[in-house]
Amino acid sequence: MSEEVRLGRQTPTTAVIQPYEDSKSSDAILIYNGGNRQALHWQETLLTHILAVNDEGLWVHMKFGYSLPRRNGKSEILIMRALYGLIHGERVLYSAHRASTSHNAFEKIIERLCKCGYEEKEDFTVIRLYGREVITWGTDKNALEGIGCISFRTRSAKSGLGENFDTLLIDEAQEFTNDQESALKYVVTDSKNPQTLMCGTPPTAVSSGTVFMQFRKSVLTGDKDTDVGWAEWGVKSLSDTKDVDLWYETNPSLGTILSERTIRSELGNDKIDDNIQRLGLWLSYNQKSVITKNEWNEYCLSEKPILPPDYKLFYGVKFSKTGNTSLSLAVRIDNRVFIECVDCRPTRNGYAWMIPYLRSQHAKEIIIDGAGDQQILKSALIDADIDATIVLPTVANVIAANALFENKLFSDEICHMGQPSVVQAASNCEHRNIGSAGGFGYCALVEGIEMGILESISLAHWACCNWDEELEHQYIGY
C-alpha cells in the first residue's frame, strides 16, 4: 500500500470573498484541462471565486488580488482566465512587468489552444510582435459570445492608454506602480462586465510597486468592502524558514509541482527575503527605500571639505531600541550642511567615548533622543563640564527634524563623505509613523542595519539648520 503524499494547504491562509451562488469556473477549468493540463485543486477553488457571478450574470469580484510564494503556479490562473475570456468573446489585456513574462504567457496560451485541438489561422490568428503580441479568436463560428482577443503588454506609464478591454490581468503585481495604474485602470471602464485580476508575491527590498500592497490593505481593513476579493498564502510574522510545516501551510503546490527538496535547496542566509519569497510574508512597510543608494551617493564629496575658521559643530545622539548609541555631527559649509557619523557603539559601554568629541570648543548644540537614556546622558555631560547647549527634543521636534532632513537632502543642500555605514542605513530605510498627524521616523528594511545612525544625523542636521546666530542656542520655531 503506497504512502499518502502530503500536500500543501489548499485554502488561503487569509481571504476576503464576497458571497455568491454561481460561478463560470467549470467551463474555464474544462477549457484549461483540455489542453493536456490538469488544474490543481487550490487553483480550481480560487478560480471559482474569481469567476463567481451574481443574478445578473456580472462578475461578483470586479477586482481580485491574490498572493503566493514563488513557483506555486499562480500565473496559471491568469492563463485559465485569459483562455476563458478569449473563447467567450472578451477583450483581454495581459500585463506583466517584464517582456519575457508576457511573452511566456503568450506562448503558453498558444500551446494550450493547440493541445485543445484548435488550429492557428483556422480557429485563431496571432500577431508575434515581441512585447505587443495579440491572439484573436478568429471567426464568429467558434466564439460563444463574440470575437475575443488577448493583447500582451509590458507595463509602462503609457501602456494601454486609449484602448478598451473587458478584462485586465496584472502579472508580477508586486512591481505594479502608481503611474502604471493611472495608465491602465481606465481601460476596462467602458466594458459592461469588467474585471481586473492582480497576482504576485509580497514585495521585496527591490520591488518598486505599491498598488498591490495598497489594494491588499484596503480589502483586508474593509476600506473596500464591495465588488472586491483577496486571497493569500503566507505567515503573519517573521518565522523560521526551516520549519517544514510552515512550507506546507504557505505553499499550496507543495507535494505536486513543488518539492521539499527544491525548497530546501533555495533557502539562503537572508531570513527576511526567504520569509517573503517562500513563506509569503507581507511586511508592514513598503520594501522600497525612501532614499535610494544612487540618490544618496549623488551628494557624496570627492574630498573632505575645508571648514571656515569660525565653524560650529552640531551633534545628534540617538539611543536605539537595538541597544546601540549613535553619535553624528553636522557643520555648515557655504550653502550646504556637511553631515557625518562619528561612531556607533553598544549603549552598555557607557558614554565616556563621546566626551572628547563633545568637549570641542566648536561644539554648539547637542540633541539627545531616546527615552530612558536622555536625562542620564545629559547629567553625564553636565558633570563633564560640556559647554555646548544640550537639548532633549519633543516628539514634534523629531518629526520636524526628519521632514527637514529629507527636504534639504533632495534640494541638494546636504553633503557627506560616503561612509559605508551611513550609505547602508540611508539606502535601506523606510518611514515609520510617529504621532497622529502624519509624522515619520525611520526603520530598517533589512535586519541588522542600525537606523540610529541615520536618525542621529537627522537630529544633528536639524540643530545646524535651526541655529540662530543672534539668539544663540535658541531654535527658530522651537
Does pLDDT of 308 surpass 60? Answer: yes
Which cell goes with 87? 473563447
For residue 216, pLDDT over 60 is answered with yes
Q: Is residue 5 part of a domain?
A: no
* Segment 237-244 long-range contacts (CB within 8 Å, at least 24 positions apart): 237/281, 238/271, 238/272, 238/275, 238/281, 239/275, 239/279, 239/281, 241/267, 241/271, 241/274, 241/275, 241/278, 241/279, 242/267
Parallel, antiparallel, or unpaired: how do β-strands 22-23 and 52-53 relate? Answer: antiparallel
Alpha carbon distance 381, 388 (integer Å): 9
| Choice between 166 and 446, residue whose per-residue pLDDT is larger | 166
- The pLDDT assigned to 238 comes to 82
C-alpha cell at 256: 505536486
Residues 32 and 180 occupy one common structural domain: yes
Q: Is the pLDDT of residue 141 over 90?
A: no
Both 354 and 322 in a single domain?
Answer: yes
CB 461 within 8 A of CB 443: no
**pLDDT tens digits, 413-435:** 999 999 999 999 999 898 888 87
Q: Is there a domain that residue 471 lies in? A: no
Judged against a pLDDT cut of 60, whether residue 473 lies above it is answered with no
Widest pairwise Cα distance in the chain: 93
**Cell numbers at 277, concatenated:** 519569497
Q: Binning pLDDT at 50, 70 and 90, where does residue 142 land?
A: low
- Looking at the fold, whether 324 and 402 belong to one and the same domain comes out as yes
CATH of the domain at 337: 3.30.420.240
Question: Looking at the predicted structure, is the pLDDT value of residue 161 above 70?
Answer: no
What confidence category does residue 179 fall into, taking pLDDT thresholds of 50, 70 and 90?
confident
Burial class (CB in 10 A: 0-12, 13-18, 19+), 436: exposed
Reported confidence tier of residue 273, pLDDT bands at 50, 70, 90: confident
Residue 475 lies in a domain: no
Evaluate whether residue 459 is within a structural domain. yes
What domain range includes position 32? 14-279
| Residue 403 CB-half CA count within 13 A | 12
Asked if residue 177 and residue 268 are part of one domain, the reply reads yes
Q: Are 125 and 136 in contact, with CB atoms under 8 Å apart?
A: yes
Residues 246 and 305 in one domain: no
Q: Are 140 and 168 within one domain?
A: yes
- Whether 43 is covered by a domain: the verdict is yes
Instruction: Report the CATH number that the domain containing residue 266 is assigned in CATH.
Output: 3.40.50.300
Q: Are 332 and 413 in contact (CB under 8 A)?
A: no
272 and 297 together in one domain: no
pLDDT in tens, 83-106: 999 999 999 999 998 889 999 999
| Measured distance CA(334)–CA(150) in Å, rounded | 59
Q: What is the pLDDT of residue 371?
A: 72
Q: What is the pLDDT of residue 206?
A: 65
Q: In sequence order, which residues have a C-beta less than 8 Å from that of residue 384 and are 6 or more positions away? A: 355, 358, 359
Of the candidates 72, 138, 80, the one whose C-alpha atom is nearest the C-alpha of residue 105 is 80
If one counts the domains in the chain, the total is 2
Tell me which range, 42-56, 229-243, 390-404, is most confidently predicted by mean pLDDT.
42-56
pLDDT at 368 (0 to 100) = 96
Q: What is the mean pLDDT of the chain?
A: 89
* For the ranges 248-252, 373-377, 441-445, the one whose mean pLDDT is highest: 248-252
